[in-house]
Homo-oligomer: A and B are copies of this chain.
């Protein structure tokens, strides 16, 4: 048959979630891909594919790659550190001084290389990530991602007030640098692209927000930022923007809230009005349960967002979060939902395994295109899981997946694929 060179077939226990309500499981199934996209998943291989070589993964699990929709790459050195501090001293003493070091391109290279190796290790295949205010560091991070083969939206952070001098920009300088990054990527076909990244409302002047919104629309560039993470922050935004009806409304006024594809991280305390704005604008809420615990922000009521039809994805949010693993982030998402379930007197149902898996795969993946599922036409972003060490006592396929998520780790991830291409450990 034609084009057989561009067709690949792999065999194994194939698991994904086309909908949040349950897993699609094909034991010892065949996954056919063409040009890196899924053509179909079959219990037995259709005749038209006979004669094509099959990569047989035996009894292993084949699942979509993990999508991390909120993460601060320059905080990688601080991972799992200074967790004893409250938010403000933590920002002042650890986060901001560390970010200021990224004006040094060599330092940026060393940390970003280690960071990318870590997310590769943990099975993340696509990521939306913050760099620092430095254009050179953002470019470096994009180049390193390009080399790695992983997919990434990389954001040069914009910040022209309420931050230390060492990392404060001018509004016009910030906009010019951002435009340069957008321009450099325009028209390029790449898995690595820029994303507009106002750090959060309090660190951006009206002029900066306005200019960023204009850039977003001009380049149809996606946007990421923080939203309603803690109560003090919400009060602060209210003081800074007394005319806005809610925190999200500030972004919205400046065309940074769904006018182009938009990620808003945390949303722990988004009220009904803000949630309705998110829903109507198609803004994705990024749930960062580890960070929300470590920094003491609180518990995002994910069930309410889902019930209201708001899209929800997962984020590691290092180094507020202490793990790059989206699998462990899933565990925390379920656990937090169980605390809310208990507090509600069991009125609010907790998150099921498949719902949470959906967030980490097809839910978050939707930000990158047809990503995160094995339905026809989806990019073949996948992990091959060798859980033999964990499954000696006898389990079903679904139990094996659950056990890998809860008790497994990177040792059990045998291979990573992005768009059908096997991604080896990045040598950066």
Contact = CB atoms under 8 A, between A and B. Distances in A.
Interface of A: 77, 79-84, 110-111, 114, 230, 290, 293-299, 322-323, 331, 334-336, 338-339, 341-343, 350, 352-353, 392-395, 399, 402-403, 405-407, 409
Contact of A341 (B296, B339, B393): B296
A386 to B, nearest CB: 16
Contacts of A293: 335-336, 338-339
Q: Which 5 residue pairs across A and B have the least CB separation, nearest first?
A: A80-B406, A293-B335, A296-B338, A80-B407, A80-B403
A253 B296 CA distance: 40
A298 B395 contact: no
A256 to B, nearest CB: 27
A294 B338 contact: yes
A322 B394 CA distance: 17
Contact of A339 (B298, B322, B350): B298
Given A84-B352, A352-B84, A392-B114, A296 B339 contact: yes
B331 A406 contact: no
A295 B338 CA distance: 7
A114 B393 contact: yes
A81 B342 contact: no
B339 A80 contact: no
A239 to B, nearest CB: 19
A305 to B, nearest CB: 19
B406 A342 contact: no
Nearest to A411: B411
A81 B402 contact: yes
Contact of A407 (B79, B394, B402): B79
Contacts of A110: 393
Contacts of A334: 83
B335 A80 contact: no
Contacts of A80: 402-403, 405-407
B350 A406 contact: no
Contacts of A353: 83-84
A298 B81 contact: no
Nearest to A351: B84
A407 B298 contact: no
Residue with the greatest number of chain B CB neighbours at <10 A, chosen from A82, A293, A399: A293
A403 B81 contact: yes
A77 B294 CA distance: 30
Nearest to A341: B296
A110 B77 CA distance: 42
A79 B409 contact: no
Nearest to A98: B393
Given A110-B393, A293-B335, A296-B341, 17 more contacts: A77-B394, A80-B405, A81-B399, A81-B406, A82-B399, A83-B334, A83-B406, A114-B392, A290-B335, A294-B335, A296-B342, A297-B342, A299-B339, A322-B406, A322-B407, A323-B407, A409-B409
Contacts of A394: 77
